[in-house]
A and B are shown apart, each in its own frame.
Chain A
């Protein structure tokens, strides 16, 4: 079958990376200097937190999977920096960037990775399952595409409760081939739900490129048309562009209670997870090109220096502070205790943890 010749890519991606075309967009021009520096700081913190995670993993202290977000920071940073008090978010297993963006601490995130009781999920969730409902962050989900109906349900609840809010539901480019995602699209469009499906298109699902996994790989967002949903494609290396285009979707959610599919083009520098030797499915040259020319943290740094919001010295200081913070988090995780054997059977049922006159259960819930 012939593949489409024309790729629907954001215009800005077709040109070499330079100063952002979106700096003057009102959502960006309206930011104070302090807000811009804070956004840069958050991106740098995500980068250095994960760089530190690599070392902790290599020391054998992190078990299971560790999916790094390095290279994709502008996606979480751009979108989450727009959110207000009734805006929620949910994502897949590549969730560290989103967690730090909503304000979770490096300490609780690192301790979760090493399975400590001081972790955000008390060492019960791990890398793929971070949660912070107090910050409107509903996970951290390990099953590809499984969060799409949940995110749609969060948006449904926001609407049911009469709030002017939304839910951003992030997923990878591989997830769009899951049935649950399409069921969620249909429900979101059918019921006019204020949900924004963000496809973080990093080009690969594990070791499988889009050409090998996806019919009509030219544009994943365009599938929205099948459901009568609005869609857009976004250059995910430019945090200003992410903010500008996501703001349109967010307004659509808030003002019209309508869903959007946003395909944000991005790239991951490391393997799919730390278990991926990253040798068989892509070129080292390709990675190098992205790192050198399209790095979202460096591009934003340059942007802010050109705007005179930041100086190279200030940027250096921000990065050093982030590294120190990550070091301290690693130390915190090291020194934290494990959950106890008694903790294993807690947090399963609300009922079991809150036995009292109000509980509607009586019998044995947890078996030996």
Chain B
């Protein structure tokens, strides 16, 4: 199987979908001539031309809203946000319009739009550029949110998102863009709402999404080699739809749970997961559920401290040992 980067996997997904369906349009700031702020869309303008790959002004509310309007008439726009942090100036469009129109029209109108871009901290850029809004957005019925952690999932989820008939928000991660992995060349999708056991184990379940999966896998190796603990890592992949059954199956197997995410803890995704586990698998638990999330403060600029603020393998190992104690 070919090996490619997370960035190339996203690009491959978009290229294949642009070829498959002429209603697919890529739009965003710097996506065309500049080849993408992170080079995710590199070469696509050359291949598909300016009708299909479109540079927009710096008007997130304007161009995202325009994409939503176009999607109501059957266009399938794939909109890049340079950072998901910038979604906040377009939140009315993203939430009120894309998220509500199907419902308010009694099911008469669909908004098959994809909005994608990086949503992560750890890049030493300060609080305004480090938001992870998956919990905020996934809390709105009508919206779907996915957070791929590997190149394989990045391609498969992106293709599923583009084919989906509802608004799907894909949260990528700049730190993962260069990560490499095996990615099939053929046409495959990773369905939304299917979690993936990234590592099997018996003693402890770690539930994570996005880059926290990679962090958790590193921690699992340390826990195995230095502490003799067998850890299962469940990658949610998709926040909404949520694969509850895969999470619960793992809990029933290991009976101990650690939740890891890069969000701030208050009302984070893991608050929902903890609720799920206690409501449907309370008797399976041999210990209280613990969490590792970002330290509850705006993102600090200082790199040395930011690396401590977000989950890292050392913090995950330390918290895992508490659950196992």
Contact = CB atoms under 8 A, between A and B. Distances in A.
Contacts of A364: 193, 241-244
A139 B193 contact: no
Contact of B74 (A134, A151, A157): A157
B106 interface: yes
Interface stretch (B5-13, B60-68, B128-136): B60-68
B6 to A, nearest CB: 20
Interface SS of B by simple majority: mixed
Interface stretch (B118-126, B157-165, B200-208, B313-321): B157-165
B292 interface: no
Contact of B65 (A133, A150, A350): A150
Interface residues of B, number: 57
Given A152-B65, A180-B61, A353-B107, A158 B73 contact: yes
Interface stretch (B92-100, B177-185, B250-258): B92-100
A13 interface: no
Interface in A186-231: 186-187, 190
A156 B62 CA distance: 12
A36 interface: no
Contacts of A142: 96
A148 interface: yes
B68 A129 contact: no
B69 A157 contact: yes
B306 interface: no
Interface in B65-117: 65-75, 92-93, 96-97, 101-110, 112
A271 interface: no
A125 B193 contact: no
Interface residues of A, number: 58
Contacts of A155: 69
B70 A153 contact: yes
B141 A348 contact: yes
A264 B75 CA distance: 31
Contacts of A187: 56-57, 59, 62-63, 66
A59 interface: no
B191 interface: yes
A150 B110 contact: no
Given A122-B106, A180-B92, A364-B244, A149 B73 contact: no
A120 interface: yes
6 contacts: A125-B104, A149-B69, A158-B73, A183-B65, A186-B62, A347-B106
3 nearest A-B pairs in the assembled complex, by CB-CB distance:
A153-B69, A149-B65, A363-B193
Given A186-B59, A367-B242, 4 more contacts: A160-B25, A349-B102, A354-B165, A364-B244
Interface of A: 88, 90, 119-125, 129, 131-134, 138-143, 146, 148-158, 160-161, 167, 179-180, 183-184, 186-187, 190, 346-351, 353-354, 360-367
